[in-house]
A and B are shown apart, each in its own frame.
Chain A
Amino acid sequence: MRNHEKKPVIRTVGLTRHYTRNKQTIEAGRGLDLEIAPGELVAFLGPNGAGKSTTLRMLTTLIAPTAGTAEVAGYDVTRDRAAVRRSIGYVGQGNAAGHQYRGRDELFSQARAHGLSRRDARSRTDELLDAFDLTEHADRPVSRLSGGQRRRLDVAIGLVQEPAILFLDEPSTGLDPQNRVNLQEQVRRLNAKLGTTIVLTTHYLEEADALAGRVIVIDHGRTIADDTAAALKSSLGDLVSLEFGSAAHAMAGAAGADRIPGAHVTVTDTVVSVRAPFGRDAAPGLVADLAAAGTPVTRLEVVGPTLDDVFLNLTGRSLRESNETASAVDAADIAGDQNEGAAA
């Protein structure tokens, strides 16, 4: 949940990133203003190419902002990169462990890079291998691990120094549903038990919905919504469908439904559709009232809004469609971004 009393651990002001592709300026981030409090679990949600990863790469010092500033753990991401890097854990889209290496060696080397003594690095390595159920795979080359095992190793490497802030870029892309659920469970526990601030990007609605206390919807490099998943959805309201025995009953039902605060009522023959905030809470009372009034409901259906409905409502586009059409653009996007990085 959002907590404005605590000093934010991440604060951006007008954070902007441009890059040039085919002599055109692409804006991957456009004046992002953001505050994230300690202990928050935040998801950046948006279609491919919306600017989520670019934002994450700026916050983790991988690329420099074109304009604006960002502070992570109290350090400026351009002026004090070293301090930012010491303060954060990062799980990128690729594998953190080199494919020619062994998981145990990679954990150990990451621990040493963070300044742990040899002894501490060894015990921390064992601990993480155990916690992520990787002990029996620790001495095999990473190239021979399964996708799920590699992803667990990536997260373990990101946690070596027990960072106060953990960034995860598309953590569950490419994982099967079971591994995805496992990973989400790990992330949730980490946030709950250690109070680690977690920022992740995803284009899976279900993931943002299931995982994050706070969802920041990003589209075309801009924040278009920022709230809890529940609040985003409840602002849109549930869809309550009521079916009646006759069109006359339906008209009476529609009149009753219209008394629900914020309701938007449509009648089609014998079916009344009500879109209303907290519609699911109002539905039982409505059904009882209508039965008492002699116009009983014969069939009831309540559908909660999905984040896809939210995205559709905000942008006029479905997130799923945007992901499909954006994937071609995205490939060029990444190439352009990297060319820029090399030239910068």
Chain B
Amino acid sequence: MTIEITQVRDAAPAASVRRTAVAASPVGIVADIGNVFARELMPVLRNPASVLFAMVQPLVFLALFAPLLPETPTGSALQWFVPGIVSMTALMSASFTGANLSEEIVSGSFERLLVSPVRRSALLIGKSLREMVPLVLQTLVIVLAVAPFAFDVHVVGIVGGIVVLVPFSVGLGALSLALAVAAKDQAWVFWTVQQTAIFPLLLLAGVLLPLDGAPGWLQTAADLNPLRYIVDAERALFAGDYPMDTIAAGLAGSVIVGVLGLWIGVRAMNRAS
């Protein structure tokens, strides 16, 4: 007979035994926003192809819709249509951004961010600022794609057009994030509201068809749509015209969406649990 004697072994060294002295220190709000923004860019940096894939959509739209446009007496139909498509792309892209947050809410990583020392306002602003990146990239891809055709490239106008769209994109991104926070893990709520909201905005901005011949009630509804003024400003800028009142109206519409979006977004984020 053999008797086996077992001894309690001392456990291997503990996980996370200190080697680096962990010097956690208070983080300012600007650094907080920077950290959130940097994290948001990670999936794009690690997988740039994902961005290119997202850009196929506006190009398909241009390829299939632009040939249907009637010739206009005042100039190229493409020149009129492209700024609208740029605005539409900004609308689509920013309004989708909450879907990423929905995914983070369901998987749990959003909860970790809520318990972390990152300010809630920084969480919202950093995520919203991310919208600038697809806005710039997508606009450049669209312009490059149409440049060989009946489209005049006015660099100053295009840069101005992007500047006008930035507050709109950021504000709409913030609204989309607020919607995702409110919908919690019920992703269908997010999609229902998002889909219901974007098409009236799009059609009442005269992106696909001019609003000139619209009946009175439709005109009134369009007058209340900030995107309408943005699209008018984009058309002027892309054409190399710089009528100050149109541009100012577009910028004002964009800034209103930006400020309102961030305000609502921060409020929603402060209440998130």
Contacts and interface: CB of A to CB of B under 8 A. Distances in A.
A97 interface: yes
Given A101-B42, A120-B23, A124-B22, A132 B115 contact: no
B20 A127 contact: yes
A94 B46 contact: no
B108 A92 contact: yes
B32 to A, nearest CB: 8
B7 interface: no
B56 interface: no
Contacts of A113: 27, 32, 35, 113, 116-118
B35 A193 contact: no
A193 B24 CA distance: 20
Given A102-B46, A338-B185, A344-B273, A120 B20 contact: yes
B42 A62 contact: no
Interface in B94-126: 100, 103-104, 106-109, 111-119
Most buried by A among B15, B103, B113, B272: B15
A186 interface: yes
A190 B112 contact: no
B51 interface: no
Nearest to B100: A100
A95 B182 CA distance: 20
Contact of A96 (B11, B35, B109): B109
Contacts of A90: 111-112, 115
Given A113-B35, A115-B24, A115-B25, A190 B16 contact: yes
Contacts of B20: 120, 123-124, 127
A194 B19 CA distance: 12
Contacts of A85: 115-117
B200 interface: no
Interface stretch (A156-164, A200-208, A299-307): A156-164
Chain A interface helix/strand/loop/mixed = helix
Nearest to B17: A193
Interface in A103-136: 105-106, 109-110, 112-117, 120, 123-124, 127-128, 131-132
B182 A342 contact: yes
B22 A338 contact: no
B26 interface: yes
B46 to A, nearest CB: 6
Interface in A220-279: none
A196 B11 CA distance: 17
Given A115-B27, A124-B20, A86 B109 contact: no
Interface string A77-96: 00000100110101011111
Given A95-B109, A98-B104, A341-B273, A190 B15 contact: yes
Contacts of A186: 15
B19 A127 contact: yes
A117 B23 CA distance: 8
B260 to A, nearest CB: 20
Given A123-B20, A338-B184, A60 B112 contact: no
A269 to B, nearest CB: 36
Nearest to B185: A338
A102 B23 contact: no
Given A99-B103, A115-B25, A120-B22, A189 B11 contact: yes
Nearest to B18: A162
Given A109-B38, A112-B35, A338-B273, A101 B43 contact: yes
B112 to A, nearest CB: 4
B154 interface: no
Contact of A114 (B114, B116, B182): B116
A88 B271 contact: no
Contacts of A324: none
Contacts of A192: 11, 14
Interface in A170-204: 185-186, 188-190, 192-194
Interface string A327-344: 000000000001101101
A18 to B, nearest CB: 15
Contacts of A160: 22
A131 B22 contact: no
A95 B17 contact: no
B14 A62 contact: no
Contact of A86 (B24, B46, B273): B24
B17 A131 contact: yes
A109 B126 CA distance: 13
Closest 3 CB pairs of A and B: A94-B108, A341-B273, A193-B14
8 contacts: A86-B24, A95-B107, A112-B35, A113-B113, A114-B116, A116-B22, A156-B15, A194-B14
Given A101-B39, A112-B27, A124-B20, 11 more contacts: A60-B115, A62-B115, A82-B119, A94-B107, A96-B112, A100-B43, A115-B24, A127-B20, A159-B16, A162-B22, A341-B273
Interface of A: 57, 60-63, 82, 85-86, 88, 90, 92-102, 105-106, 109-110, 112-117, 120, 123-124, 127-128, 131-132, 154, 156-162, 185-186, 188-190, 192-194, 338-339, 341-342, 344
